[in-house]
Chains A and B, each alone.
Chain A
Amino acid sequence: MKLTPVAKKQLVKILGSASVLTDELSLALYAYDCSLSRTRPEGVLLINKCEQIAPVLRVLHQYHIPFVPRASATNHAGSCVPLQGGVILNLTALDHVLEINTKQQFALVEPGVITADLQERLAPLGYFYAPDPASQRVCTLGGNMAQNASGARCLKYGGTLDHVLAADFVLADGTEVSLSRQDAGPDFIGLLCGSEGTLGVLTKLKVRILPLVKQVRTFLISFPSLQNSVEVVSELTAQGIVPRCLEAMDKLTAQSVEAFSHAGYPTEAEALLILELDGTLANIERETQLVEKICRHHKALQVIFAKTEEERQKLWKGRRNAFAAMSRLAPSVMVGDGTVPRSNLPQALKRVQQVLQNHHAKASLLFHAGDGNFHPHLLFDERNQLQTVRTTRVLREILKICVDEQGTLSGEHGIGVEKRALMAYQYDVDTLSAMARIKQVLDPQNLSNPLKIFPHQFTEKAREPMALRLNVQVLQDTLLSYIRAKEPFFICGQNSQLKTKASTLLSAKTLQEIIEIDTANYTVTAQAGVTLNTLYKALHKAGIYSILPDGKGTLGGAFCSGKFPEFYAHVIGIEALLPDGSCVHYGGKLMKNAAGYHLTRLLAGSQGTLGLVTQLTFRVFAYPQTVLKAKPVQQKSSNFLWKRIRDGFDPSHLILNCKEEKARA
């Protein structure tokens, strides 16, 4: 629907006439972000107070007007572009830090607060906010959450997803929702992170802050080839070293950023690594020796470290401005953010270089090497249509390589409009349908940032479903028979606390296989019915450690019961059967994944209400970790979002819980 005069009048009533812009120039200036996509909205709404968001959304819902929430618009995927017209909600004026609580280690902020501004406020207090996207001087915390932005420190501290403690949110119909990580049930904050504004608008965030690390050592290491540098990354990972940051760049990138930052990057070397270690001094010294040894073994030309804080900041200045510095070389830059498992990085890189060579494409390469996330910056001139088409094709090929290498289209920039067609290459129809159902349930009128993430007519284009293991197939058949017979059933694990005499059970008891212990990537893939005890023994045998305790329960139970919420952050891949009999696959041995909604977080703590988790991939460590303590399970509450999503996933309520069984009886 168009922005009608009646709707405009109502919006003016809420916001004031100066905050509802419909002139040609304003529309043109809110039509773009950092990507190549541009579409003019029909209006721009300047939101000045958080309280204005809900009434504005109610008006937009009433008149079926699509909207796109936007702050600094620095994303690279076209997520802020109003593809279907409608209005832009400009949230940049919501830039107040409402509370900083160092005792409980959180900051309460509005979504328009610039990330670096928060860091500046925290630094004198001796604290920092861990996610550090390269654009932190301009990007906002709300935008970070919408895109699940990460940054160099993500390797050690995780992305935005792991640092949001609570959020106030307004759904597309104007319903206000307060979410907290303390809530029972699925991790809805995790689901909203990376949803690219397609599920609603954030109004407030409570983010975790951490005490500043006192000992940090930043290395600059140069190599004769890019291949050498990524081999070092793989070996460091295999040795169990988790640096605070691990970034790589090629010669072209180093040369262009050196001209701007004067950081002292050796411009003759073919590849550079910036590596940062933190922790105790003894630990740093020990790891320094190991790092030097590994680097020398891989023909490092130079291993130096920043001696002063100023030198260190200079090194980072260069890295953070790498994308922007590309404007020295060409008028337009197309940037990808495909991510692969770290052990596949050398192979993926070889293939990417081959593609670049085949197409004679000019590109610089930049990596969050520790995460297996790499950013090819393709240089071209968007005024030349032929060049644009060719560059788009090259990027598409590169992203396909990432998917082929068991990776993902996007590690941190999101899908937006520019990569949505490739979603059908990464996910099968079941997984895409599950994501589309989430959107359908929470925004039935498709008003919030429409036409993003999902490929057009994906049912026809989606990739072939993955072959299921035999025991999963049997479970799927059982599930389908229940659905056909419209027979309600229970989902339970190995040692389910569910006390029922019902015969219609969908049990994970048969899912007993530990599929892979990958010591190159430090990941474990196991079926949900594997007991924690068995898992513990297997890991102990392999000489690696998990944060899960030794015990009676199952892996699936630990994940779904809500007993170990800290474990969610370690789960990077999932396979699950949904109540309609479909089987979803999300993630894998990837350190980060920003392609589509986080299905892992939706099923985490869902207590079997949204489906049966059959398989999990999670991170493990080279050194012993603090083992989690089980929290008392909170029984299912009447969480509004949970109920809504459950109704969407299981409209006939075939999955039963104890309360419902009692009611039936």
Chain B
Amino acid sequence: MPNIQREHLTSLQTLNGLRNIQDSVSFCNRCGMCASVCPSYQQTRQEPFSPRGRNQTLRLMLSGKVKLKREPERKLAEEMVRSCVLCGQCVQACPGEIPTPEHVLELRRRLGISLLPTTLFLLLRLRQTAPKLFAVFVKIGLALRWTGVLYLLACVPGFTWGWHVLQILPRKAASSAGGYCTDPSLIYLPSLEAEYLMPTLFQQTYDLASHRGNVLVWRNTPSGLFEYIYGDIRRARKLVRQLISKHAAVGDGKRPVLTDSIDIYNFLTRSTQLFAGFKLLERKAENFAACIRYVTDFLPEKAPAKNTFAMPVQLLSGAAFSQQTLPQLKAQQILRSLFRENFVQCGYKDGTIPPVGCGFVKHTRAPAYSLLAVQSISAHQTKTVFVLSGLAALELTFYARKFYPVAQVRHIIELNG
């Protein structure tokens, strides 16, 4: 398989800075606070499917106490890591902020599990190697989807992942237009969905950024997030290195890099861990991470489009790795000050939308987890749900339409009109 993980990380970006993986996992004191919020534990009520169980599995594996080479241990371990959607609920619930999603990724790498369907992997690779061809593929794909031919293709083995993707993709999508300039004051790194599937998201982010001056759009520039989570860590590292060099070449090398996806933000701000042990690269990555911005950093205090949303509103801040990063807290703060009593504060057990295109990759698991999010929305009877990434918006829109059509799903950028 071309997309099997072959390399491991040595250190992780934790609350106390870079920490050796063995150390990081040992800091879990098994209090179990994470279990009650984990969507997979809520469904199974079994220890292996709790964040605590996953942490302990990695700890046991690192200390050589379990081998996981034979059946049925291996099967259970695989099931355990596949069932984690990296939603970061456990990190939010953990008072020690143990980075369980990172531990799951490490476990996945050590087990050598391939999660990304090969066809999807090749398609994404095409985005890096031949971006123009990729854009053509997307256009053809969207056209074929309109005709219904693609639904037939999704029945072919190897393309079954496409079935769910076709369900959640928007009906109309076109490649978005963007700017290029030589002396930008801001760089915009669009997510794949903004670039190809959600032109409005691209346009709105671009408009927001352009208020700050000249904007340089990094087109067809993969962030490495998908590769980090589903693919090869070596490739992810290479892509981030490319980004760092590209960034250093713009202006004084300190231009802010804006992204519309909270997942990309979370990944890039913690990308230092990819270069642990390489001092120079580590420093460069640190500088780069300090320049990453999310749309909430630029949203005006008084959102022009406030009155266009049905109330009450809710924020589902599900994102890869963590739900407690600064932009997520800021988004909450913005919504609370704008909508006051009409902003519904989520409880600790409220479901969240699986991040990073979970629906693309784990299409068999996505419905169960997404339904937890819809249940939470319907329990609060919210009419507008804000999310922080385009993929989350696509995924949740599909399930909300199906099970709770009263609720509208919006990307936070839409506050800007």
Partners in one complex: yes
Query: Considering the chains assembled together, what is the distance between the CA atoms of A115 and B29 in angstroms?
Result: 21
Query: Considering the chains assembled together, what is the distance between the CA atoms of A74 and B98 in angstroms?
Result: 17
Q: Is the CB of B27 within 8 A of A331?
A: yes
Could you tell me which residues of chain A, from 258 to 272, have a CB within 8 Å of some CB in chain B?
260-261
Q: Is the CB of B57 within 8 A of A29?
A: yes
A205 within 8 A of B: no
Query: Considering the chains assembled together, what is the distance between the CA atoms of A112 and B66 in angstroms?
Result: 29
Chain A 202-241 near chain B by CB (<8 Å), digits 1 or 0: 0000000000000000000000000000000000000000
CB contacts (< 8 Å) of B98 on chain A: these are 327
Q: Is the CB of A29 within 8 A of B31?
A: no
Q: Is the CB of B33 within 8 A of A321?
A: yes
Q: Which of B15, B23, B29, B65 contacts A34 (CB 8 A)?
A: B29
B286 within 8 A of A: no
Q: Is the CB of B23 within 8 A of A324?
A: no
Chain B 14-37 near chain A by CB (<8 Å), digits 1 or 0: 011000000100111111110110
CB contacts (< 8 Å) of A261 on chain B: these are 95
Q: Is the CB of B35 within 8 A of A24?
A: no
CB contacts (< 8 Å) of B76 on chain A: these are 23, 25-26
Partner-contacting stretch, out of A89-97, A408-416, A426-434, A628-636: A89-97
A46 within 8 A of B: yes
Q: Which of B32, B48, B94 contacts A72 (CB 8 A)?
A: B32
B53 within 8 A of A: yes
Q: Which of A34, A90, A328 contacts B96 (CB 8 A)?
A: A328
A532 → chain B closest CB, angstroms:
47
User: Please, which residue of chain B has its CB at the minimum distance from the CB of A76?
Assistant: B31
User: Please, which residue of chain B has its CB at the minimum distance from the CB of A91?
Assistant: B45
CB contacts (< 8 Å) of A381 on chain B: these are 26
In the complex with contacts A321-B95, A327-B98, A34-B31 CB distance below 8 A? yes
A472 within 8 A of B: no
User: Please, which residue of chain A has its CB at the minimum distance from the CB of B75?
Assistant: A23
Q: Is the CB of A325 within 8 A of B45?
A: no
A28 → chain B closest CB, angstroms:
5
CB contacts (< 8 Å) of B53 on chain A: these are 29
CB contacts (< 8 Å) of A32 on chain B: these are 30, 56
A401 → chain B closest CB, angstroms:
24
User: Please, which residue of chain A has its CB at the minimum distance from the CB of B56?
Assistant: A29
CB contacts (< 8 Å) of B28 on chain A: these are 327
A33 within 8 A of B: yes
Q: Which of B35, B36, B67, B95 contacts A327 (CB 8 A)?
A: B95
A23 → chain B closest CB, angstroms:
5
In the complex with contacts A30-B47, A325-B96, A138-B32 CB distance below 8 A? yes
Chain B 229-259 near chain A by CB (<8 Å), digits 1 or 0: 0000000000000000000000000000000
Q: Is the CB of A327 within 8 A of B29?
A: yes
A440 within 8 A of B: no
Could you tell me which residues of chain A, from 474 to 521, have a CB within 8 Å of some CB in chain B?
none
A406 within 8 A of B: no
B297 within 8 A of A: no
Query: Considering the chains assembled together, what is the distance between the CA atoms of A112 and B42 in angstroms?
Result: 12
Q: Is the CB of B56 within 8 A of A324?
A: no
Q: Which of B15, B66, B94, B95 contacts A25 (CB 8 A)?
A: B66
Interface size class of B (residues with CB under 8 A): 35 or more
Q: Is the CB of A29 within 8 A of B96?
A: no
B278 within 8 A of A: no
CB contacts (< 8 Å) of A25 on chain B: these are 48, 57, 66, 68, 73, 76-77
A13 within 8 A of B: no
CB contacts (< 8 Å) of B95 on chain A: these are 257, 260-261, 321, 324-325, 327-328
In the complex with contacts A29-B56, A90-B46, A328-B97 CB distance below 8 A? yes
Interface centre among B27, B33, B67 (most CB of A within 10 A): B33
Q: Is the CB of A90 within 8 A of B31?
A: no
B313 → chain A closest CB, angstroms:
18
Interface of B is mostly: loop
User: Please, which residue of chain B has its CB at the minimum distance from the CB of A331?
Assistant: B26
Q: Is the CB of A28 within 8 A of B35?
A: no
Q: Is the CB of A327 within 8 A of B60?
A: no
Q: Is the CB of B65 within 8 A of A28?
A: yes
Q: Is the CB of B96 within 8 A of A114?
A: no
Query: Considering the chains assembled together, what is the distance between the CA atoms of A359 and B30 in angstroms?
Result: 26
Q: Is the CB of A135 within 8 A of B33?
A: yes
Could you tell me which residues of chain A, from 62 to 87, have a CB within 8 Å of some CB in chain B?
72-74
Query: Considering the chains assembled together, what is the distance between the CA atoms of A265 and B129 in angstroms?
Result: 53
User: Please, which residue of chain B has its CB at the minimum distance from the CB of A112?
Assistant: B45
CB contacts (< 8 Å) of B26 on chain A: these are 331-332, 381-383
Chain A 6-30 near chain B by CB (<8 Å), digits 1 or 0: 0000000000000000011110111
CB contacts (< 8 Å) of A545 on chain B: these are none
B235 → chain A closest CB, angstroms:
30
Could you tell me which residues of chain B, from 73 to 122, have a CB within 8 Å of some CB in chain A?
73, 76-77, 93-98
CB contacts (< 8 Å) of A116 on chain B: these are 36
User: Please, which residue of chain A has its CB at the minimum distance from the CB of B70?
Assistant: A24
User: Please, which residue of chain B has its CB at the minimum distance from the CB of A330?
Assistant: B27
In the complex with contacts A95-B45, A260-B95, A34-B32 CB distance below 8 A? yes
A167 within 8 A of B: no
Query: Considering the chains assembled together, what is the distance between the CA atoms of A381 and B22 in angstroms?
Result: 12
A380 → chain B closest CB, angstroms:
11
Query: Considering the chains assembled together, what is the distance between the CA atoms of A327 and B76 in angstroms?
Result: 28
A323 within 8 A of B: yes
Q: Which of A72, A325, A326 contacts B35 (CB 8 A)?
A: A72
B21 → chain A closest CB, angstroms:
13
A643 within 8 A of B: no
CB contacts (< 8 Å) of A328 on chain B: these are 15-16, 95-97
B277 within 8 A of A: no
B67 → chain A closest CB, angstroms:
8
Could you tell me which residues of chain B, from 360 to 415, have a CB within 8 Å of some CB in chain A?
none
B80 → chain A closest CB, angstroms:
8
CB contacts (< 8 Å) of B47 on chain A: these are 26, 29-30, 73, 90
User: Please, which residue of chain A has its CB at the minimum distance from the CB of B24?
Assistant: A331
User: Please, which residue of chain A has its CB at the minimum distance from the CB of B345?
Assistant: A310
A137 within 8 A of B: yes
B72 within 8 A of A: yes
Q: Which of A23, A33, A74, A92 contacts B45 (CB 8 A)?
A: A92
CB contacts (< 8 Å) of A321 on chain B: these are 33, 95
CB contacts (< 8 Å) of B67 on chain A: these are 24
Query: Considering the chains assembled together, what is the distance between the CA atoms of A28 and B58 in angstroms?
Result: 12
A641 → chain B closest CB, angstroms:
31
Q: Is the CB of B23 within 8 A of A331?
A: yes
Q: Is the CB of B96 within 8 A of A324?
A: yes
Query: Considering the chains assembled together, what is the distance between the CA atoms of A323 and B31 in angstroms?
Result: 8
In the complex with contacts A23-B72, A46-B46, A34-B77 CB distance below 8 A? no
Q: Is the CB of B36 within 8 A of A332?
A: no
A333 within 8 A of B: yes
Interface centre among A116, A137, A261 (most CB of B within 10 A): A137
Interface centre among A25, A34, A95 (most CB of B within 10 A): A25
B59 → chain A closest CB, angstroms:
10
Supplied contacts A73-B32, A257-B95, A326-B29, 16 more A-B pairs, CB within 8 Å: A23-B72, A25-B66, A28-B66, A32-B56, A34-B29, A34-B30, A34-B31, A90-B47, A135-B33, A138-B36, A327-B27, A327-B94, A327-B96, A332-B26, A333-B29, A382-B26
30 residue pairs from A and B, CB less than 8 Å apart: A23-B73, A24-B66, A25-B76, A29-B47, A29-B48, A29-B53, A29-B56, A32-B56, A33-B30, A34-B32, A46-B46, A73-B32, A74-B31, A135-B32, A138-B31, A138-B32, A138-B33, A139-B32, A260-B95, A261-B95, A323-B29, A324-B33, A326-B29, A326-B96, A327-B27, A327-B29, A328-B15, A328-B16, A332-B29, A383-B26
Chain B interfacial positions (CB closer than 8 Å to A): 15-16, 23, 26-33, 35-36, 45-48, 53, 56-57, 60, 65-68, 72-73, 76-77, 93-98, 348
6 cross-chain pairs, A with B, having the tightest CB-CB distances, nearest first: A327-B96, A325-B95, A324-B95, A321-B95, A324-B31, A92-B45
Chain A interfacial positions (CB closer than 8 Å to B): 23-26, 28-30, 32-34, 46, 72-74, 90, 92-93, 95, 112, 114, 116, 135, 137-139, 257, 260-261, 321, 323-328, 330-333, 381-383
